[in-house]
């Protein structure tokens, strides 16, 4: 009897939290008010095929999200459940059917994630972040065309919101529900960056090109008018791990393409120091293709880092950084671009529900760059020329987080190479009173050639040559 009483109190408490945080009107909507995506695919065949297998279609099936959700639900006594569900299963959230650690099951349509009818029945926004959408399911479907009147199945209404980054910003900024700490701020990174007046989220993430807007001629539906541009619905970011796990090779390919177009690396300096005993290496990493920081989103888990290996001509390694060990862990001293959250005691944590401060955020802003300096000892027996390989790598989830969620070594997140560059050095160093290794013969030939040329000028070989010599 006492257990049942406590259970009832818990349910009432959670209901009150839900009402306070998210409003009572939400629970008047039912999953059956929304159209199944397969029905939409009957007319919007190409768009449906693009969406199917995307991160949006798998927002509830994502195994990383599922494990994180169940963990936080248990540790925080379900107080985070509505917060997470609002953007990952918005239809069930609106109906008041909030999953939990004890019951992750959702309605049939919410199993299909962020589906067609959810997005196209959003009629307004209450702001930015934490699921600020206002939904009005029904026969009216909203979209980006102000001249569209063709449909035998539903009514059509133009929505300026659907053409703006603010539509994406309703979910792609995330704040801690209790202390307000910024956990994800992809929209704000764009808003505060150099692209906010020329490019919207849709121009990059709903275009057939890998970066920036590219016209895509076609029809929005069977029988609809031909248009100069139709937004694609792959809605690809940098997560190639999930499409690979869930068997969507096209979304995996597109994510890898996007990652490989986002950044470039350059070797600014690779030379011996004056002491002849050590080397200097400067590497520049530039964000050339992302309208937000690199990386963005779940940045305590996603990592971009530099992997460096310098060798002599015999293949002997003289320096390395950013290598991955047999367990999948990145070298502790590697240069990583990510966010590190701290808990109440100031200790690093990947559990965002415990985060109370940001200990580190060294991500690269749009059109920004970071220069990294390395210095390492030069072995006396190093044989020239020396070479260095530099790679910029990416993982959607760190090995640390994967081990925490799935068990040690059960999942190895795929490492994707975003960019690479090579450099060489032949060992030349001008030291007074010493020969130049490998170049003495070349230098001698150059001296002989110059003296020969002067001699020919002095002996009058060629009028032009003589005049040039006299001027000199």
Q: What is the pLDDT of residue 208?
A: 82
Per-block mean pLDDT, blocks of 10 residues, the chain (472 long)? 44 46 60 97 97 97 97 98 98 97 97 98 98 97 89 92 98 98 98 96 88 84 92 95 94 96 97 92 97 97 97 96 96 96 97 98 98 96 95 97 95 96 74 36 45 48 36 34
Least Cα distance to 302 among 311, 294, 292, 313 occurs for 294
Q: Does residue 70 form part of some domain?
A: yes
**Do residues 100 and 81 make contact, with C-beta atoms less than 8 angstroms apart?**
yes
First to last CA, the chain: 110
Q: Does residue 401 form part of some domain?
A: yes
CB atoms within 10 A of CB 103: 10
Q: Could you tell me whether strands 278-287 and 263-272 are parallel, antiparallel, or unpaired per DSSP bridges?
A: antiparallel
Cα dist from 376 to 271, 276, 382, whole Å: 11, 11, 13
Does 363 sit behind a cis peptide bond, omega within 30 degrees of 0 on the bond before it? no
400 with 448, same domain: the answer is no
Distance CA 70, CA 352 (A): 13
Domain of residue 463 covers 440-471
Token couple for 59: 């927002």
Q: What is the pLDDT of residue 152?
A: 80
Q: Does residue 246 form part of some domain?
A: no
59 with 173, same domain: the answer is yes
Q: What is the pLDDT of residue 48?
A: 98
Residue 32 main-chain phi, psi, to 5 deg: -65, -10
209 with 90, same domain: the answer is yes
Cα dist from 372 to 167, 259, 375, whole Å: 36, 21, 10
Which helix (H) or strand (E) segment is 141 a member of? Answer: strand 140-143
Does 115 sit behind a cis peptide bond, omega within 30 degrees of 0 on the bond before it? no
337 with 282, same domain: the answer is yes
Least Cα distance to 188 among 160, 206, 169 occurs for 169
Q: What is the pLDDT of residue 25?
A: 47
Number of domains in the chain: 3
Cα dist from 35 to 40, 57, 112, 119, 153, whole Å: 7, 14, 12, 11, 11
198 with 295, same domain: the answer is no
Least Cα distance to 210 among 255, 249, 258, 251 occurs for 258
71 with 109, same domain: the answer is yes
Does 295 sit behind a cis peptide bond, omega within 30 degrees of 0 on the bond before it? yes
**3-state DSSP call for residue 427?**
coil
Q: Does residue 29 form part of some domain?
A: yes
Which helix (H) or strand (E) segment is 280 a member of? Answer: strand 278-287
Q: Does residue 213 form part of some domain?
A: yes
Q: What is the pLDDT of residue 211?
A: 64
Q: What is the pLDDT of residue 214?
A: 81
**Do residues 74 and 57 make contact, with C-beta atoms less than 8 angstroms apart?**
no
Q: Does residue 252 form part of some domain?
A: no
Out of 197, 215, 234, a domain closes at 234
Q: Does residue 337 form part of some domain?
A: yes
Q: Does residue 13 form part of some domain?
A: yes
Residue corresponding to tokens 């069977």: 222
**Do residues 349 and 355 make contact, with C-beta atoms less than 8 angstroms apart?**
yes
Q: What is the pLDDT of residue 452?
A: 54
For the stretch 267-291, pLDDT in tens is 999 999 988 899 999 999 999 999 9
282 with 413, same domain: the answer is yes
411 with 447, same domain: the answer is no
Least Cα distance to 358 among 339, 338, 345 occurs for 339
180 with 282, same domain: the answer is no
284 with 344, same domain: the answer is yes
Here the CATH number for the domain that contains residue 374 is 2.60.40.10
Torsion (CA) 246, 249, 251, 255 in degrees, nearest 10: 110
Q: What is the pLDDT of residue 456?
A: 52
> What value does the CA radius of gyration of the chain take, rounded to a whole number of Å?
30
**Do residues 309 and 267 make contact, with C-beta atoms less than 8 angstroms apart?**
no
Q: What is the pLDDT of residue 28?
A: 81
Out of 199, 234, 269, a domain closes at 234
Distance CA 456, CA 472 (A): 14
Q: What is the pLDDT of residue 427?
A: 63
For the stretch 120-148, pLDDT in tens is 999 999 999 999 999 999 999 999 999 98
415 with 368, same domain: the answer is yes
34 with 166, same domain: the answer is yes
Distance CA 141, CA 134 (A): 14
């Amino acid at each position: 009897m006492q257990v049942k009483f406590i259970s009832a109190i818990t349910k009432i408490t959670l209901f009150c939290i839900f009402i306070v945080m998210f409003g009572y009107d939400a629970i008047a909507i039912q999953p059956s008010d929304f159209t199944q995506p397969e029905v939409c695919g009957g007319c919007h065949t190409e768009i449906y095929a693009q969406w199917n297998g995307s991160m949006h279609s798998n927002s509830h099936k994502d195994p990383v999200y599922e494990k994180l959700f169940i963990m936080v639900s248990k540790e925080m006594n379900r107080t985070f459940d509505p917060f997470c569900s609002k953007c990952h299963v918005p239809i069930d959230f609106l109906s008041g059917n909030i999953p939990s650690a004890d019951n992750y099951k959702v309605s049939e349509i919410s199993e299909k994630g962020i589906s067609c009818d959810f997005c196209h029945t959003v009629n307004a926004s209450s702001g930015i972040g934490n699921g600020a959408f206002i939904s009005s399911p029904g026969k009216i479907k909203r979209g980006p065309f102000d001249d569209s009147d063709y449909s035998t199945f539903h009514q059509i209404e133009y929505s300026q919101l659907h053409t703006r980054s603010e539509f994406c910003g309703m979910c792609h900024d995330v704040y801690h529900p209790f202390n307000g700490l910024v956990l994800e701020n992809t929209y704000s990174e764009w808003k505060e960056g150099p692209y906010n007046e020329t490019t919207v989220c849709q121009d990059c993430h709903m275009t057939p090109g890998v970066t920036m807007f590219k016209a895509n001629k076609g029809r929005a539906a069977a029988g609809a008018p031909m248009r100069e541009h139709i937004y694609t619905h792959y809605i690809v970011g940098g997560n190639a791990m999930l499409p690979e796990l869930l068997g969507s090779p096209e979304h995996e390919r597109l994510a890898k393409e996007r990652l490989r177009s986002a950044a470039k690396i350059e070797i600014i300096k690779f030379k011996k120091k004056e002491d002849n005993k050590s080397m200097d290496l400067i590497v520049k990493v530039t964000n050339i293709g992302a309208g937000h920081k690199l990386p963005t989103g779940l940045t305590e888990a996603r990592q971009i880092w530099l992997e460096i290996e310098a060798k002599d001509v015999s293949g002997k390694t003289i320096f390395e950084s950013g290598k991955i060990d047999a367990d999948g862990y990145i070298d502790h001293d590697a240069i990583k671009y990510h966010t590190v959250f701290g808990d109440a005691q100031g200790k690093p944590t990947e559990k965002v529900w415990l985060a109370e401060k940001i200990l580190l955020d060294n991500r690269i802003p749009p059109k920004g760059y970071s220069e990294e300096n390395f210095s390492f000892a030069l072995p006396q027996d190093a044989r020239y020329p020396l070479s260095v390989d530099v790679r910029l790598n990416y993982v959607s989830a760190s090995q640390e987080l994967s081990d925490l969620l799935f068990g040690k070594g059960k999942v190895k997140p795929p490492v994707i190479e975003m960019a690479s560059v090579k450099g060489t050095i032949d060992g030349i160093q001008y030291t007074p009173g010493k020969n130049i290794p490998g170049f003495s013969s070349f230098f001698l030939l150059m001296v002989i050639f110059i003296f020969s040329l002067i001699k020919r000028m002095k002996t009058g070989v060629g009028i032009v040559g003589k005049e040039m010599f006299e001027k000199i």
